[in-house]
Structure 1
Amino acid sequence: MLKHYWNTALRNLIRHKRFTIINMIGLSISMAVFLALTNYVGYQLSYDKFYPGGDRIYRVDYFEYQQGQPVLQSARTHDRTALLMHAYAPQVEAVTRVYNEKAYIFTEDVRIVDQNMLYVDSSFLKVFPLKLISGSVDQSLTPPSSVMISKSQAHVYFGDADPMGKILYFNERLPFTVTGVFEDIPANTSLEFDFLLSWSTMPYYGWISRDGDFNAPWTFTYVKLKDHVTDIAAIDRELTDMANKHITTLEKRGHTARYALSPYEDLHTSAGALSGEAKPAISKTILFALISLAIFIVVAAWINYVNLSLARSLERADEIGVRKVFGASRSAISGQFLLEAVVLSSVTFGLGAGLYLLFTGPFANLLFTNIAFRPTQPATWALYFAGFVTGTTLIAFYPALFISRYKPALILKNKLSIGRGKAGVLQHSLMVFQLFLAVAIIGITLIAGRQLTFMRNFDSGFNTSHTITLRAPASTNSDSLRRSRYRSFRNDVMQHSAFRSGTASMNIPGQEIRFHDEDIHAVGSSNIKKQSYWVMWIDEGYQETFGLTLLGGRNFLEREPGLTCMINETAARALGYENPTDAVNTTIMNAAHDKATVVGVWKDYHHESVHKPVDPIVFYHRHPNEYGYYTFYVQSRQGDYLQNLQTLWHKHYPNDPFIYYFMDRFFGEQFQADELFARLLNLFSIISIAVASLGLFGMASLAMVKRTKEIGVRKVLGASVWNILVMLSKTYVRLIIISCVLAFPLAYYLTRQWLQTFAYKIDVQVWMIVLPGVIVLVATLATIAGQSIQAAMANPAKSLKDQ
């Protein structure tokens, strides 16, 4: 009997090719999208979940307020915070400081720049338990100038030789001895590193105080709590008490402060981005939106299946009637239809999985560039398969039950009423839901695309299109001639006509500024407003190279007398000057009690993306003595300017690799997450329309079959082709109108919520909400036009004779 059902199911699927193909296309595409989205979101949600006891790891964040308003919200803390942690928070099992850098690391044979390294306390391995290949948890990070290295990098630098005890050189040839090797950490981590350097190295070289201080928050502090500690708020209060007791400058600034613990495993999807984050977070809202899209697209494909099954029931009425006359039970007929659903869903799952593997593997650059997916294990594939087949079979249960209820007498007398009553209401309701999803997704996509275009075209206030940036040499960090070497290099570059100006700076636009100062104020001013100021080190070429607008005063001079600074408009207002140019020739004092004369004020420019407002920035005339960037304005990208630049680089910096960035691309990398979201929305809006159109096409085709006699009668009675077209189309137009009424408010609400994450954003206009409905209406009418015209122009004599 089962073999008979199996053969019958295959024959029916092959015989009704249109039904089978439409369902296979819709279900396979929806399955591929579902796999892609769930694996992408699963990968993002899996960040930082691989450390044993990871649910007990927390980062200590720092906040400062004036009169209840935040002036600093930082992921970093003061370096003395960790040393007092156990005294104020006995719930802490272990604590470590972490300072992240990208370093030039080399041996005599291997030289690699921009390596991920961390300076860490010797207790780091107690907070973050790594899998050690060699070395000691307690001792490997204790001596100054010791380094632990990942297994892969050990192979890069030392091949198959044992790296223990060997020397690695960092930046300006600082020697570090390898004291341990650990297994590589997974890529889905918020704290990337291949090298762990002992914290004791920094006070050993006199870079910082051995006992730390509370001058500025600049380092990460991570803690691991003891087992069964749940009252995080109590620890926050204890640490906040520590902050207000030990940070003596708070009272002078009129500030209050607090520390707060953030779960390490949640950092990658944290709601509010803080300054100084090690890695940009991704919005949990976006992840939930993508998962919702994945579910909606599968549901839309299932709706197609239900609608087409119900609509196709007229074609199978004779088959059902004959089987019932010969004694087939309702359960036997239902089982036949459910078996067809199992066969169809099994095949389409294979097709969908194949599409997913194809477009996330060999053809990844076509759709999913720079997108990481969670590896799918065999058990997960089995779960996906079982879920999809079970879901499709359950969805098919209603049409199977409905069809099995047909009475043989009505079937054989051709008196079935298909598409009316409860079945008709269900079909229309499902179609409304499907169209509602399509309209909502297109509306959200349109507004997201407009916002992305707005961001791309937003006037950032500086020039990016003609600038090329070089990573400054790391080998000369401690070289007393570093500035003169740079000037010699810049002068040689300027001899080539392709270049107009050059500058050295600690940071470049598109990158968070490295330092900030909470104690800058105008000397002699009665201004009581305090503010956290970002601090940049630049030279006199910064203004011309980046095309900044000078509002008042002057630019830096090459040989600047005394300590001077430039500020932006926002900094001038924060200092208490209603007219920013009034700040020219005034004096400011910083946290180190150094006084500097404000020689000029620049018009605000967006150093970072439009997600953030413009911050107050103070620019000191100082050459960056570590890392930094050298940027040149290129008058024309024609010719061999890049080759000339590289030749001059190797002449002046033979020990450093030539690494360059085009500023327009570098600045645009800030929008990668938004562009990814918009790209995925574009893809899914097309898919949602395609899936809905497939269903409409199938339903319209079968509807024309059912209404052939009606159309013939109307034509005999004088109805024109246009009248027939209107009659056949008005049902679908009505469904679209209902869908739009439901979808417009949802699209408006969701996009408004998303836009709140931007400091600068577009206004949602009426046409942006209405246009998606028009698009879906046009797509719907275009989908059913062919069948409608064919039915309307058919010879009524033939259609009535056939009936």
Structure 2
Amino acid sequence: MQQPTPPRWADQLLEWFCAPYLLEEVQGDLYERFEKNLRLFGEKTARREYIKSVFGFIRPFAFKRNKELSPPLYIQIMISNYFKIAFRNLLKYKGYSFINIFGLAAGMAVTMLIGLWVHDELSYNKHFSNYDRLGHLFQFVKFDVEKATYDVMPIPLAAELRNKYPDFEAVSLSSNTHSLILASGEKKLVKTGNYVEPSFVDMVSVKMITGNRNGLKDVNAILISESLAEDLFGLENPLDKVIKIDNKESVKVVGVYENFPYNTSFKEVLFLAPWSLYEASRENVRRDKDEWDSNSYQIYAQLKPGADFDKVSAKIKDIRVNRADPPAYRPEFFVHPMSKWHLYSNFKDGVNTGGLIEFVWLFGIIGAFVLLLACINFMNLSTARSEKRAKEVGIRKAVGSVRGQLIMQFFSESFLVVLFAFVLSISIVLLALPVFNQVADKQVGILWTNPFFWLTGLGFSLITGLVAGSYPAFYLSSFQAVKVLKGTFRAGRFASVPRKVLVVLQFTVSVTLIIGTVVVFRQIQYAKNRAVGYDRNKLIEVNMNTPELYKHFKVLKSDLQQTGAVYEIGVSAGSITTQSGGTTNISWKGKSQQGKPLLMANLVSHEYGKTIGWQILQGRDFSRTFSTDSAAMILNESALKLMGFKEPLNEIVTTNGRAYKVIGVIKDMIKENPFSPVAPSFFIVDSRSVNVILVKLSPDMPTSESLSKVEAVFRKHNPESPFVYSFVDELYGKKFGDEERIGKLALFFTILAALISCLGLFGLASFVAEQRTKEIGVRKVLGASVAHLWALLSKDFVMLVCIALLIGSPIAYYFMNQWVMRYNYRADISWWIFVGAGAGALLITLLTVSFQAIKAALMNPVKSLRSE
């Protein structure tokens, strides 16, 4: 029978903790006790007492009575011990711990916010069950040199697709998203929605809360969103309630649906009204029902399973060209997949050139770099402090710690810091989300239930802990205890090189981000400062939604002028900040027969020019004193350049079969994209198709008082509708929305990146000052001034930042030059941007380092030179 022996794992534990020169003596004593207990009490008690003695020697661990301590429990106790020691070390060096944890947490938080933003962008429109098969009809048209892209279609195309192309499972006509007045009883609200065909409801997976999803087959029906139902009817049941649209058509609520998610193309669609009602209530829609060249409507399509968008687009490309009397602009139809609506919306000369996907990549890269900065800080400070702990390593080895224990100890400290940082980063994100969502125009939140989110976060924490802890774990644990304790250990002349390289990398990223942010804001400001060609100050727009405004406009205008609150009033077809229509059916003397340029047509009243304050360069404005002005035309500068008139006044221009005499030329007005050239445009007097009232408020009266008087007049003549107006300068400002949001986000991330870099620099400066304490003391004794010592400690960091500037500036120039080239109207990337960014980076560096440098220089040399 085999002689009973103590547990092997207990012997291994003793070998792990016990110094080699004590192991034989201790183990011999414990074996004697084991044999004695074996004779007196039996094997079970002997083994238990042996385990108890082992743990009593290495540490007074608690264990369960009458139960042998199992290996899993031993591992648990051992790991707990490592983390307790790690926690004590964090408390011992509070300053370094704060910089490490907060810096890493800030980097994680920024990356998390960017990750949430990117996730929201990439999941745009994915809520729809038919996402992979839904498309939007577009067309390429060639007016002059390049192909232009439009998403407006002729009405007959929808029936053509349904009847002749079997690849289409469903097709729906739709209006643009309208702002309409919806009234029920005393409630009158201005809300946005679409007129659509019944098939639209199933195509976009409308989630019904109550009612009939097929209700749009009734001409006098309407489906409303949950939020609109609450706004109009409160807690009452909305079904079968009557709503009046624009004080004209009465419709009955036949269903309520869930609001479309915020990150969809239909987030502003708060109601769906029947297309049949759109036809019945609008003469222009009835007129365009069979008109192939009236491109004013949206068409959405759902392909059959397995159908390919490119192949289907190739089949329908020449539908219009193959019909009788094809137009000169040669339209080419294609289906743009829903998967590309949001991120791939830009086209140039018939080719998709991307879109917001560029910003997704940009912010993804920024997030990765900001996280890299935080990790560099963590690694720099970890390695810097680890050299300071060389004596600790020597003592631990001398009393018996083996290399494996030291490796585990350093890794546990690293993991503890990363874990604290991860928890803190989630707290930072929760606090920052309200502001972030407002700036980014998002409704994102932490993905608590998404396993990928937690796997990514915890996986990153694990990797960061391993990378940051690897240097102290493997390098320091290899020291020979004798050399360290005798003082003969030296870190080596190149020990600081990795840290310097990482600092250069940090500030290269920071400088690149600073330069990029300045260029973005300068481009936005450059476009904002561009002359718009009219006076936006105190100019408001009011949509002529209801028939009352059409019927009583002359009286309305008279009453407004009598208030003294209005300088002038004009009307137009469409907003002054948009282009509402154009034509190629135009000719003039000397026009080339081959070119078919597009000119934007603007229908206005006689007072339009005076109201908006446009700038006349030649000729005169429209006037009611000239009865012939009903056949007069005013050109903008771009149209004059296109037509090539040397003396444009009294020239004849024919459009849509009617001749007009040119009476004036105005300065180009920006009505479309402020970053692009102004389109050639003409203006003619036509009050039949106008739908927008422009009111220039009096400059001699406070705006609030003027608006109060204007509102009273509108309510008098249109009592059934709320008075809704828009300041033109605010409408124009919205044209910069995407760029400004990107700029603000870039600024936010750049500031945080600079802060993280400065935190790391502050920690390193503190470490260097501490490391050179005795040197500073000796220099002070020998007569060195505070300024000299400050320069001594600062010059290395300044040199590193200068190297970063030399590397970062050309990188920033290359990428930002690529970015600004996207705009036709763009600012130059001036040299002063790089000088300013460099000066700023150096100033931040000096301010960060100076605190520690001056503190060290002012230290009493007696304390500095005193030996421990």
> Normalising by the residue count of structure 2, what TM-score does the alignment of the two structures yield?
0.84
Cα separation, partners in 2 of 1:525 and 1:723, compared to 1, 3 Å: closer
Of the three residues 97, 103, 127, the one matched with 1:20 is: 97
Letter of the aligned partner of 1:749 in structure 2?
Answer: Y
Does structure 2 conserve the Cα–Cα contact (< 8 Å) formed by 1:88 and 1:239? no
Does structure 2 conserve the Cα–Cα contact (< 8 Å) formed by 1:744 and 1:770? no
Cα separation, partners in 2 of 1:211 and 1:622, compared to 1, 3 Å: closer
Q: Secondary structure at the match of 1:37?
A: helix
2:736 matched to 1:671?
yes
Deviation at 1:74, TM superposition (A): 0.6
Deviation at 1:558, TM superposition (A): 3.5
Q: Secondary structure at the match of 1:534?
A: strand
Count of residues in Structure 1 that have an aligned counterpart in Structure 2? 777
Deviation at 1:297, TM superposition (A): 1.5
Provide, for residues 626-680 of structure 1, a one-character-per-residue CA deviation record: whole Å limited to 9, x for no partner. Answer: 6423322431452722211111121122122112222222211221222222222
2:818 matched to 1:764?
no
Letter of the aligned partner of 2:194 in structure 1?
Answer: L
Q: Secondary structure at the match of 2:156?
A: coil
Provide, for residues 601-624 of structure 1, a one-character-per-residue CA deviation record: whole Å limited to 9, x for no partner. Answer: 211111234222201223232236
Q: Map 1:454-469 onto structure 2 (within 5 A).
A: 454-467=526-539, 469=540
Deviation at 1:342, TM superposition (A): 2.5
Provide, for residues 204-252 of structure 1, a one-character-per-residue CA deviation record: whole Å limited to 9, x for no partner. Answer: 455325853212221111211111223x3322222122121137342xx
Cα separation, partners in 2 of 1:609 and 1:229, compared to 1, 3 Å: closer
Q: Map 1:249-328 onto structure 2 (within 5 A).
A: 249-250=326-327, 253=328, 255-272=329-346, 283-328=356-401
The aligned residue for residue 487 of structure 1 is 554
Does structure 2 conserve the Cα–Cα contact (< 8 Å) formed by 1:36 and 1:373? no
* CA–CA separation in structure 2 for the residues paired with 1:503 and 1:45: 44
Does structure 2 conserve the Cα–Cα contact (< 8 Å) formed by 1:505 and 1:624? no
Cα separation, partners in 2 of 1:687 and 1:584, compared to 1, 3 Å: farther
Of the three residues 91, 94, 97, the one matched with 2:173 is: 97
Provide, for residues 747-777 of structure 1, a one-character-per-residue CA deviation record: whole Å limited to 9, x for no partner. Answer: 1122112212322111111221232122112
Of the three residues 601, 605, 611, the one matched with 1:539 is: 605
* CA–CA separation in structure 1 for the residues paired with 2:161 and 2:773: 82
Q: Secondary structure at the match of 1:360?
A: helix
* CA–CA separation in structure 1 for the residues paired with 2:401 and 2:692: 81
Deviation at 1:419, TM superposition (A): 6.7
Of the three residues 569, 576, 585, the one matched with 2:637 is: 569
* CA–CA separation in structure 1 for the residues paired with 2:860 and 2:534: 69
Of the three residues 231, 234, 244, the one matched with 2:321 is: 244
Q: Secondary structure at the match of 1:149?
A: strand
* CA–CA separation in structure 2 for the residues paired with 1:624 and 1:758: 37
Q: Map 1:635-650 onto structure 2 (within 5 A).
A: 635-638=699-702, 640-650=705-715
Does structure 1 conserve the Cα–Cα contact (< 8 Å) formed by 2:387 and 2:476? no
* CA–CA separation in structure 1 for the residues paired with 2:748 and 2:739: 14
Q: Secondary structure at the match of 1:645?
A: helix
The aligned residue for residue 450 of structure 1 is 522
Q: Map 1:221-620 onto structure 2 (within 5 A).
A: 221-230=299-308, 232-246=309-323, 248-250=325-327, 253=328, 255-272=329-346, 283-361=356-434, 364=435, 368-369=438-439, 371-380=441-450, 382-383=454-455, 385-399=457-471, 400-418=473-491, 420-421=493-494, 423-467=495-539, 469-476=540-547, 482-483=549-550, 485-510=552-577, 512-522=578-588, 525-526=591-592, 528-558=594-624, 561=628, 562-574=630-642, 576-579=643-646, 582=648, 584-590=650-656, 593-620=657-684
* CA–CA separation in structure 2 for the residues paired with 1:37 and 1:729: 34
Deviation at 1:330, TM superposition (A): 2.6
Cα separation, partners in 2 of 1:526 and 1:214, compared to 1, 3 Å: same
2:81 matched to 1:4?
yes
* CA–CA separation in structure 2 for the residues paired with 1:464 and 1:241: 43
Letter of the aligned partner of 1:73 in structure 2?
Answer: T
* CA–CA separation in structure 2 for the residues paired with 1:569 and 1:67: 18
The aligned residue for residue 278 of structure 1 is none
Provide, for residues 689-738 of structure 1, a one-character-per-residue CA deviation record: whole Å limited to 9, x for no partner. Answer: 21111111111111122223344455566766555444433322332222
Does structure 1 conserve the Cα–Cα contact (< 8 Å) formed by 2:210 and 2:255? yes
Cα separation, partners in 2 of 1:210 and 1:404, compared to 1, 3 Å: same
Deviation at 1:149, TM superposition (A): 2.2
Compare CA radii of gyration and give the structure with the larger one.
Answer: 2
2:273 matched to 1:197?
yes
Cα separation, partners in 2 of 1:133 and 1:781, compared to 1, 3 Å: closer
Letter of the aligned partner of 1:221 in structure 2?
Answer: I
Q: Secondary structure at the match of 1:464?
A: coil
Q: Secondary structure at the match of 1:148?
A: strand
Q: Secondary structure at the match of 2:320?
A: helix
Letter of the aligned partner of 2:292 in structure 1?
Answer: F
Q: Secondary structure at the match of 2:321?
A: helix
Q: Secondary structure at the match of 2:682?
A: strand
Deviation at 1:67, TM superposition (A): 6.4
The aligned residue for residue 45 of structure 2 is none
Does structure 2 conserve the Cα–Cα contact (< 8 Å) formed by 1:612 and 1:758? yes
2:220 matched to 1:145?
yes
Of the three residues 50, 66, 77, the one matched with 2:127 is: 50
Cα separation, partners in 2 of 1:595 and 1:127, compared to 1, 3 Å: farther
Letter of the aligned partner of 1:515 in structure 2?
Answer: G
The aligned residue for residue 186 of structure 1 is 261
Deviation at 1:788, TM superposition (A): 2.4
The aligned residue for residue 705 of structure 1 is 770
Letter of the aligned partner of 1:246 in structure 2?
Answer: R
* CA–CA separation in structure 2 for the residues paired with 1:145 and 1:521: 44
Letter of the aligned partner of 1:502 in structure 2?
Answer: I
* CA–CA separation in structure 2 for the residues paired with 1:312 and 1:714: 24
Does structure 1 conserve the Cα–Cα contact (< 8 Å) formed by 2:180 and 2:245? yes
Deviation at 1:462, TM superposition (A): 1.4
* CA–CA separation in structure 2 for the residues paired with 1:523 and 1:41: 54
* CA–CA separation in structure 2 for the residues paired with 1:773 and 1:620: 54
Deviation at 1:56, TM superposition (A): 1.0
2:82 matched to 1:34?
no
* CA–CA separation in structure 2 for the residues paired with 1:209 and 1:492: 35
Does structure 2 conserve the Cα–Cα contact (< 8 Å) formed by 1:539 and 1:558? no
Does structure 1 conserve the Cα–Cα contact (< 8 Å) formed by 2:144 and 2:597? no
Provide, for residues 342-378 of structure 1, a one-character-per-residue CA deviation record: whole Å limited to 9, x for no partner. Answer: 22222222322222222323xx39x944631423232
Of the three residues 290, 293, 297, the one matched with 1:212 is: 290
Q: Secondary structure at the match of 1:269?
A: coil
Letter of the aligned partner of 1:509 in structure 2?
Answer: I
* CA–CA separation in structure 2 for the residues paired with 1:608 and 1:405: 68
> Normalising by the residue count of structure 1, what TM-score does the alignment of the two structures yield?
0.90
The aligned residue for residue 11 of structure 2 is none
* Unmatched runs of 5 consecutive residues or more in structure 1: 276-280
Letter of the aligned partner of 2:155 in structure 1?
Answer: D
